[in-house]
Structure 1
Amino acid sequence: MSLPPGFLDELRTRLSMSQVAGRKVMWDQRKSNQAKGDMWAPCPFHQEKTASFHVDDRKGFYYCFGCHAKGDAISFVRETENVSFMEAVEILAGEAGMQMPARDPKAQEKADRRTQLAEVMEMAVSHFRLMLKTGAGAEARDYLTRRGLDDAALDRWDIGFAPDAWQGLWDHLKAKGVEDDLILGAGLAKPSQKGGKPYDTFRGRIIFPIRDARGRAIAFGGRAMDPNDNAKYLNSPETDLFDKGRSLYNHGPAREAAGKGAPLIVAEGYMDVIALSEAGFGATVAPLGTAITEDQLRLLWRIAPEPIIALDGDKAGLRAAMRVIDNALPLLEAGQSLRFAIMPEGKDPDDLLKESGPEAMQALIDGAQPMVDLLWQRETEGKVFDSPERKAALDKDLRTAIARIQDPSIRNHYGQAIKDKRWELFRARPQGSKGQGGQKRAWQPGKGGGWQQTPPVLASTKTSLLASADDRAQEALREAVILAILIRRPDMLDQVESRMERIEMVGPGHGDLQQLLLRHAHDGAAVLADQIEARIGAQALEKLFALNHVRITPAIRADDDDEIVSACLTEELTKLEALRGARREVIDAEADMNALPDEGVTWRLGQAAEARNKALRSQTEDKATYEVADNGSLLNREERDALDALLAQIDPKKGT
């Protein structure tokens, strides 16, 4: 059975050599460099203990320095699975999600035609290069000189020119004996709709040859010299040689440069690629007039694990970046992602290089943002989240985007990163709690009331519970109970998360515990405790759970009873909110009485006091009295008395 042209190339593109070999070998992590596709393992073809089996992911080959076995993914499957060539292709095609083609008796004929088309394309390259050096190409040469390209650069990139003539290239190729169907099949000419001679595809344009990874000319890109031309850039139509969505401009040289350690950069156009490469950024490629496709992403990841998308700093460039994110999310794998270097507004890489030099471009590359930052920017930029509904809409959009990630580990990490960013946006600085210069403010009764500047609190004062005084001391104790319950049972946070976000802690160290709880509760109690110990020390938890008020809380003593835990947690939050609501009402009333007292103020105070007392008179409050036993544990006094009475009935001597 013969395979159609391009099938094996596509198969090798979709599967990396390390993916195929990774099923049979255990990689030596100390010797391997996954970022560069440089992998080492003990050889699967002979018995050994050292890692002499080497895989070069960029080239798609393996070689053993012990037994000298070598080959590509197909030969690896043939040798390890003991199958024929076609069976190995079928195995790999199944893994890559490619359907095996039907038997094609004309496959060899098609392969021969592709070879002929490639030869015609090289003839066209030579013709366009010659035309650039003639008088007809004077204006194009001037333009390229203004763009900073000298004769040596023009030769390196094989840049040419197509004069504004209807059959210039057609006549040239026909004079060399090229058949009509080959010229048309290569996309170099189009048939006339009026019955005349076919006419050239490219006219009045600077020509950029597009080559595949092996260096064969497969298409052209043309830039119009006429500023009024509707199509500034024009690519060859798709042919047997050229698939626009599966090709990259400067693919081969960029792959070679990336293999030597250069960062892989994805620019927007031909001139950006040329400018960056000439400035020393040799591993630069560009898609061909379309948004980056899934196939192009796979090509990029075959070259480097984390390509840098360098897009123009305008609205179109940002829109292109967002489209890339949507295509990339389902394809993400461990160690395989994208970063983004957004140019200054209104500039492209060529502009930046001319104005600020390679150093400015290098700084942008070094500071390239991870993809999660662009995803967050897309969902939040220009939006206001001043209502629960808008916040919920943001959460829904982010969940929908993250759900497209197939790898569960990456999906979890994206979720954590988004949660951290959401924390910074909504929770880090409650509204009204900061004054000018970032100084902390507090609600103080005084002339006119309102937020008053508060002097800084001494460190020694912060550590004392008495710093809060009276009601604040009671509030601090209730805060401690709430924090202790949630630290012991972080799975309960979902029920009260929005209420926890609004609490401004007054107890010593409670604010730090609150932030760590909200950030890491989803990781489980053990991880949360480790985070608290790492950030603020194990003594913080010891001090919290040592409080008698915490130790006698029913939820702590029965933390495996969801109903008790939930009821106790809800009750403590309600009491705390009632205490603070009543205090704020008193402060407001005092301010109103200083201004214009009336009966309404008295009524408001009465309502606040009633709400406070109602919350504190909870029917579920634990009213038991406890005492400390000899071993330090807490005992319910009523239960202790009942036990003593029972013992007295059994043995009167023990009841005395």
Structure 2
Amino acid sequence: MRFEPRLLDEIRARLTLSDIVARRVTWDRRKTQPGKGDYWACCPFHQEKSPSFHVDDRRNRYKCFGCGASGDHFTFVCETEGLSFPESVERLAEQAGVALPAPDPQAAKREKKRAGLADICEMAAQFFQSEYAGPRGEQARAYTAKRGLMPQTLREFRFGYAPDSRNALKSYLADRDVPETAMVEAGLVIRPDDGRPGYDRFRGRLMIPIQDDRGRVVAFGGRTLLPDGQPKYLNSPETPLFHKGVMLFNAHRAREPAFKTGEAVVVEGYLDAIALWQAGIQHVVASLGTAFTEDQVVRLWKFAPEPVICFDGDAAGVSAAHRAIDRIFPVLRSGYSFQFSFLPDGMDPDDLVKEKGLDGFRQEVGKAQALFDAVWEREISASRIDTPERKAALEKRFDDLIGTIRDERVRRRYQLDLKFKLSNLFFEQARQNRRDGKKTSDNPSGLGLARERVATSNAFGTERLVLGICMRFPHLLDRNFERFSGLPFTNDLHLQLRDVLCRIVDDLEAAPIAQLTSSFDEPLREIMNEMMLETIGLQEQRKAEFSVLNHRFPLLKSNPPEDFVEAAYLHFLDQLELNALEEELSGELANADEQLDENSWARIQALTQDLSRRREECARDEADLAERAKKIRTSPPVAAAQ
């Protein structure tokens, strides 16, 4: 439905934006100035400790200076309550007392038809419920009792039973003057092409209504009660009311709990979703047994920025997750992703809750992999990288997948992280092969070689730390490329590695990583190994990555916020530039001992003033970082997604 700008302006004029936003945030008293319509709070769209979310009542706009979220009344309601734009307009218009125009005749006709089909589905739901409670529902009741479903759950989800009859539902609806054509259109009756009488689609099945965002019954899922019955689950077909590729089971119940917790759990089947809901995980939805679609992916982000896809750990569950990955990648955008939780082999969410309880399920979900890690594991587990051709093939598969990401910023972030991770993998694999090919070695670890060829200096540790951070957080290198590329490293190997990292970033899409890593000389290989890896096999590689970096920068083990890591990184860059300034001043002073003219004195004065200013700034930054580090060490760990 389209709305005139005048109508939207009238709604905005009648409702104060800060009043709508205040339902989700607490205003910061120090920065907020209500008299000026100026409000500040911690952002409701991402986690932060200092308020960077701003509401301007005069302009009817909000903006977060941390994550970039922005919009007006309607955008805020859409993003925080999971509503479509027309739904948000309807809700706010009702609050504002603004009458909405009648829809056009064709739209009204379509809506009336959909409402009529919803009424028929509601009649069917009532019929199935009565059959479940009656004599013919004994087998269905025995099944739900075996599954441990409680009476409250059965009522909430309106469990029913479809009798094993060709026309039980059809006759029930016909007695209520429902035309057979409408029964067919609602997906409840099948009409054969050869002209024979229509018959019930669902027969001898436990019935679970599927409801839309407004709670209306629009379709059904039926589970066979026969041990060898096929198909095991049968859903309604596509109808004017029901679109499998858009809908999520239990969405209307899960939406509010998901917004409150900032979390969402996605499972494969509706019985799994019902079991988790009964156990207390109310922010759970199911995908109705179909492969994920882009529409469902985008819709899930209205529930939480990083929903957890919780699939069985067997081959079928892993395969379903891998199919989901391919659907997710094209629509990835900043601040939104997915996590993947693979349950112990042979167990589904219902089994896990029954065996280990709610805490056991949360513990498993807390181990969820980030999307990047799931993709990495998918490709690496099925790849051999023992030849240049196979390495190139692996790199191409990653490039093709990442190339589908439409968001340029996210695509570049993935490209950076992937290139560095592949260089690490190829380097360690080649190093492992060389070590295996040597029967004896005076120095099997190889780490000493790098240390022998590296001369120490005052800046040695900071240089090594900056390079390690660049390799672990390549987006920081990318964001500060010009500054990093000109850093005055004092160590020759550090300079070589700086140039290699700059080459990867500067020529991101054209630089074949396998070819680049094969060109490294031995000292450069060893210094990369010292910063990133211990001497271990490839299978254990992930556990030991950046172990030396963590030793130099122990706070990284606490997973500090990204803005803290960036602030620390910039501080280390400042230190290296400060060291270079001190060297330059020392050189000028040494020359002044032999010959001091007006120009030399001017340079010395300028360097001294600049150095004094930079030292003060570095000292302040160091004190601020130390204070933040202290809070990070003492604060409790962030709870895992559930």
Aligned to 1:410: 410
Alignment of 1:165-564 (within 5 A): 165-193=165-193, 195-261=195-261, 263-428=263-428, 430-431=431-432, 450-452=439-441, 454=443, 481=492, 483-485=494-496, 487=498, 491=502, 497-501=516-520, 503-504=522-523, 512=530, 534=572, 538=576
| Alpha-carbon shift at residue 168 of structure 1 (Å) | 0.4
What is the CA–CA distance in structure 1 between the aligned matches of 2:420 and 2:264, rounded to whole Å?
29
What is the CA–CA distance in structure 1 between the aligned matches of 2:216 and 2:83, rounded to whole Å?
21
Q: Is the 8 Å Cα contact of residues 455 and 491 (structure 2) preserved in structure 1?
A: no
Q: Is the 8 Å Cα contact of residues 504 and 511 (structure 1) preserved in structure 2?
A: no
What is the CA–CA distance in structure 1 between the aligned matches of 2:501 and 2:369, rounded to whole Å?
32
Q: Between Structure 1 and Structure 2, whose CA radius of gyration is higher? A: 1
Query: Could you say what secondary structure the match of 1:285 adopts?
Result: strand
Instruction: Identify the match of residue 42 of structure 1 among 25, 41, 56.
Output: 56
Q: Is the 8 Å Cα contact of residues 309 and 338 (structure 1) preserved in structure 2?
A: yes
What is the CA–CA distance in structure 1 between the aligned matches of 2:281 and 2:217, rounded to whole Å?
22
| Alpha-carbon shift at residue 295 of structure 1 (Å) | 1.1
Aligned to 1:33: 44
Query: Could you say what secondary structure the match of 1:357 adopts?
Result: helix
| Alpha-carbon shift at residue 126 of structure 1 (Å) | 0.9
Q: Cα deviations across residues 191-211 of structure 1 (Å, max 9, x unaligned)?
A: 244544321110010001000
Higher mean alpha-carbon deviation, 369-378 vs 423-432, is at 423-432
Count of residues in correspondence between the two structures: 470
Query: Could you say what secondary structure the match of 2:207 adopts?
Result: strand
Higher mean alpha-carbon deviation, 147-156 vs 35-44, is at 35-44
| Alpha-carbon shift at residue 398 of structure 1 (Å) | 0.6
Q: Cα deviations across residues 560-592 of structure 1 (Å, max 9, x unaligned)?
A: xxxxxxxxxxxxxxxxxxxxxxxxxxxxxxxxx
What is the CA–CA distance in structure 1 between the aligned matches of 2:575 and 2:63, rounded to whole Å?
45
Q: Cα deviations across residues 137-159 of structure 1 (Å, max 9, x unaligned)?
A: 11111111111112222111101
Compute the TM-score of the two structures, normalised by the length of structure 1: 0.61
CA distance 1:358–1:399, change in 2 (3 Å): same
Which amino acid is 2:516 matched to? E
Query: Could you say what secondary structure the match of 1:345 adopts?
Result: coil
Query: Could you say what secondary structure the match of 1:222 adopts?
Result: strand
Higher mean alpha-carbon deviation, 178-187 vs 336-345, is at 178-187
Q: Cα deviations across residues 391-433 of structure 1 (Å, max 9, x unaligned)?
A: 1111111111111112222112212322343244232472167
Query: Could you say what secondary structure the match of 1:396 adopts?
Result: helix
Q: Is the 8 Å Cα contact of residues 483 and 513 (structure 1) preserved in structure 2?
A: no
CA distance 1:399–1:165, change in 2 (3 Å): same
Q: Is the 8 Å Cα contact of residues 265 and 284 (structure 1) preserved in structure 2?
A: yes
Compute the TM-score of the two structures, normalised by the length of structure 2: 0.62
Q: Is the 8 Å Cα contact of residues 162 and 206 (structure 2) preserved in structure 1?
A: yes
| Alpha-carbon shift at residue 349 of structure 1 (Å) | 0.8
Q: Cα deviations across residues 60-113 of structure 1 (Å, max 9, x unaligned)?
A: 689xxxxxxx99358999xxxxxx989xx9xxxxxxxxxxxxx97543233222
Q: Cα deviations across residues 318-347 of structure 1 (Å, max 9, x unaligned)?
A: 111111111111111111111111111222
What is the CA–CA distance in structure 2 between the aligned matches of 1:236 and 1:147, rounded to whole Å?
23
Q: Is the 8 Å Cα contact of residues 160 and 206 (structure 1) preserved in structure 2?
A: yes
CA distance 1:32–1:380, change in 2 (3 Å): same
| Alpha-carbon shift at residue 169 of structure 1 (Å) | 0.6
CA distance 1:61–1:179, change in 2 (3 Å): closer
Q: Cα deviations across residues 519-556 of structure 1 (Å, max 9, x unaligned)?
A: 9xxxxxxx99x9699499859998xx99xxxxxxxxxx
What is the CA–CA distance in structure 2 between the aligned matches of 1:465 and 1:311, rounded to whole Å?
49
Alignment of 1:116-131 (within 5 A): 116-131=116-131
What is the CA–CA distance in structure 2 between the aligned matches of 1:48 and 1:292, rounded to whole Å?
32
Which amino acid is 1:296 matched to? Q
Higher mean alpha-carbon deviation, 354-363 vs 177-186, is at 177-186
Instruction: Identify the match of residue 81 of structure 2 among 38, 59, 75.
Output: 59
What is the CA–CA distance in structure 2 between the aligned matches of 1:345 and 1:252, rounded to whole Å?
31
Q: Is the 8 Å Cα contact of residues 267 and 310 (structure 1) preserved in structure 2?
A: yes
CA distance 1:357–1:151, change in 2 (3 Å): same
| Alpha-carbon shift at residue 498 of structure 1 (Å) | 2.6
Q: Cα deviations across residues 202-238 of structure 1 (Å, max 9, x unaligned)?
A: 0010001000011000000101112333311111111
Q: Is the 8 Å Cα contact of residues 312 and 348 (structure 2) preserved in structure 1?
A: yes
Aligned to 1:72: 88
What is the CA–CA distance in structure 2 between the aligned matches of 1:216 and 1:433, rounded to whole Å?
65
Aligned to 2:136: 136
- Return the structure number with greater relative CO, CA threshold 8 A, min gap 6: 2
Q: Is the 8 Å Cα contact of residues 55 and 62 (structure 2) preserved in structure 1?
A: no
What is the CA–CA distance in structure 2 between the aligned matches of 1:48 and 1:381, rounded to whole Å?
45
Q: Cα deviations across residues 101-135 of structure 1 (Å, max 9, x unaligned)?
A: xx975432332222221111111111101111222
What is the CA–CA distance in structure 2 between the aligned matches of 1:49 and 1:506, rounded to whole Å?
46
Aligned to 1:80: none
What is the CA–CA distance in structure 2 between the aligned matches of 1:203 and 1:151, rounded to whole Å?
23
What is the CA–CA distance in structure 2 between the aligned matches of 1:47 and 1:249, rounded to whole Å?
34
RMSD (CA atoms) = 4.9
CA distance 1:163–1:417, change in 2 (3 Å): same
CA distance 1:539–1:240, change in 2 (3 Å): closer
What is the CA–CA distance in structure 2 between the aligned matches of 1:128 and 1:291, rounded to whole Å?
28
Query: Could you say what secondary structure the match of 1:148 adopts?
Result: coil
Structure 1 gap ranges (5+): 4-16, 63-69, 78-83, 90-102, 436-441, 444-449, 468-478, 520-526, 547-628, 633-656
What is the CA–CA distance in structure 1 between the aligned matches of 2:350 and 2:231, rounded to whole Å?
21
Structure 2 gap ranges (5+): 4-16, 22-36, 65-69, 94-98, 457-489, 505-510, 534-545, 550-564, 593-642
